[in-house]
A and B are shown apart, each in its own frame.
Chain A
Amino acid sequence: MYNPTVARLTYRALLGRRRAAILFVLPGLLLLIAAAVRGFNGPDDQIAADVLGGFALATMVPLIGVIAGTGAIGPEIDDGSIVYLLAKPVKRPTIILTKLIVAIAVTMVFSAVPTFLAGLILNGNGQQVAVAHTVAALVASIAYSALFLLLGTVSRHAVVIGLVYALVWEALFGSLIEGAKTLSVQQWALAVAERVTGDGLVASDVGLPAAVALLAGVTVAATWYAGQKLRTLTLAGDE
């Protein structure tokens, strides 16, 4: 179910593109913000939780997820080079699963690692704030990667749709509107973080069992559907 050649092609394409610069810019920005906040306020558990929840989880993780998830397959479908993967006796779900694993790994490295470092800078992991948000970033990485990989498989406008989802839905509605919170990867991940950290520092509107079920459900369903779409992917000619 995992093909090392597909994985190699995927991560080289992912990190070799200009878009990959964002993968470095966003974590850099987070660390910069963390250092500035620490410099001005000193260590403060609540502020640490606010920065990690408000910027790292609400904005950075979904954006990295968009870049890695759509970038793992979208450009290949757009320019038609996916034909070299499809014209092989390799099962389509294997291609999807491999690309998903690469997208998850890239999202985790570029979102969970900087989240943890930022947490250490902010309050030295007091009240487990850094660990909690890192765990949240890790689980969110999985769900985002699966969602955006599916998006990259079904739509040529995956990046735009992904950005709208990440910025408008997750970052804006997800933190403001009650109903939207239940359908937000960010809130599900926060439910996991809530369990890890000390009282009251992280709050999610979704209960832990529901959050875990939704995370797992979305990941599995999106991956399965992407595999199905790839099986019937049509490469129309230029005419």
Chain B
Amino acid sequence: MTTIDIDHVSRWFGNVVAVNDVTMTIGPGVTGLLGPNGAGKSTLINMMGGFLAPSNGTVTLDGEPIWRNESVYRRIGVVPEREAMYDFLTGREFVVANAELHGLGAAEAGKALATVEMEYAQDRKIATYSKGMRQRVKMASALVHEPSVLLLDEPFNGMDPRQRMQLMDLLRRMGAEGRTVLFSSHILEEVEQLASHIEVIVAGRHAASGDFRRIRRLMTDRPHRYLVRSSDDRALAAALIADPSTAGIEVDVTEGALRIQAVDFARFTELLPRVAREHSIRLLTVSPSDESLESVFSYLVAA
């Protein structure tokens, strides 16, 4: 059982604050680190992996500081986001080298390559690999010493759906074995499918923490905004506002449309078509106007 403790950690680069007073504990099982691009996920993972010193606060592995402490890598495996590897090596040579640096050998390397199902291409140069293959060889290099903690920075980037599923299965299995698995992603669905526990980072701040159902509810229960055009906007507006799922409607004369704010997502999506049918109103346009991930996240921060 290995735990990473992040205690009041901040990190700034010059006068840009990348991580702002974050406190969280990452324990056994699969944890997803969710946030939009540029939120500070990589900075946080780099500090957990010992590649970056916190400007303030402490990052520890079972109480031991991670920064400037090579011995933690006996227990930590790292899968970096960056593509660069030793491209002039074959996949097997690369994983064997990683094993040797842990004091292990070809047997362990072979096992790790089998785990990620890369044996079929292990004797090809890494330079010839697709992005998904690289990702799997990176995984093998991180797994070779069977670490109790696995840190993955955006591991699903550039993977096709089949590779994604394979990697998810693998990570799930590792979480079930009691390892501490942390991965970052900016895609909610990815995190939801894999992680039992989610930490949300927005603009360097720790926005939310908990199981994905709670986070999902926070995300779906937020006020939704829609732009609606119909054959009779005012009649539709009058009918909708009578229902408690609708908090406000604006008749946008210049756009020739309604701007609707719904507070009960599930109820509103059922209400809108029903009301239209009952009043014989044709719906011409229904489009959500704030579905960008950023707006979802910024709502979470405010919540």
Residues of A within 8 A of B (CB): 3-6, 8-9, 12-13, 16, 79-81, 83-92, 231-239
Contact = CB atoms under 8 A, between A and B. Distances in A.
B52 interface: yes
A91 B71 CA distance: 9
Interface of B: 13, 18, 37-43, 45-46, 49-53, 68, 70-71, 73-74, 76-78, 80-82, 84-86, 88-89, 97-98, 100-103, 141-142, 153
Given A86-B51, A87-B49, A81 B70 contact: no
Given A88-B73, A89-B74, A232-B68, A238 B52 contact: no
Given A231-B68, A237-B153, A239-B18, 13 more contacts: A3-B101, A9-B97, A12-B86, A84-B86, A87-B76, A87-B142, A88-B101, A88-B102, A89-B102, A234-B51, A236-B46, A239-B37, A239-B43
B70 A79 contact: no
Contacts of B98: 84, 88
A9 B53 contact: no
Given A86-B51, A90-B70, A235 B46 contact: yes
B256 to A, nearest CB: 41
A233 to B, nearest CB: 8
Contacts of A79: 82, 84
B82 A80 contact: yes
B40 A239 contact: yes
Contacts of B103: 89
A83 B86 contact: no
B68 A85 contact: no
A174 to B, nearest CB: 35
Nearest to B51: A235
Give the one of A5, A8, A84 with max B CB within 10 A: A84
A232 B53 CA distance: 8
Give the one of B97, B102, B153 with max A CB within 10 A: B97
20 contacts: A9-B86, A9-B89, A12-B88, A79-B82, A83-B78, A84-B97, A87-B73, A87-B78, A88-B73, A88-B102, A89-B71, A92-B70, A231-B68, A232-B53, A236-B13, A236-B43, A237-B43, A237-B45, A239-B40, A239-B42
Given A235-B46, A236-B46, A80 B84 contact: yes
A85 B53 contact: no
Given A84-B141, A86-B51, A88-B70, A238 B100 contact: no
B36 to A, nearest CB: 10
B49 A237 contact: no
Contacts of A91: 70
B68 A237 contact: no
A234 B86 contact: no
A232 B54 CA distance: 12
Contacts of B88: 12-13, 16
Contacts of B97: 5, 8-9, 84
A87 B142 CA distance: 9
Give the one of B42, B74, B84, B103 with max A CB within 10 A: B84
B44 to A, nearest CB: 9
Contacts of B78: 83, 87
Contacts of B101: 3, 5-6, 84-85, 88, 90
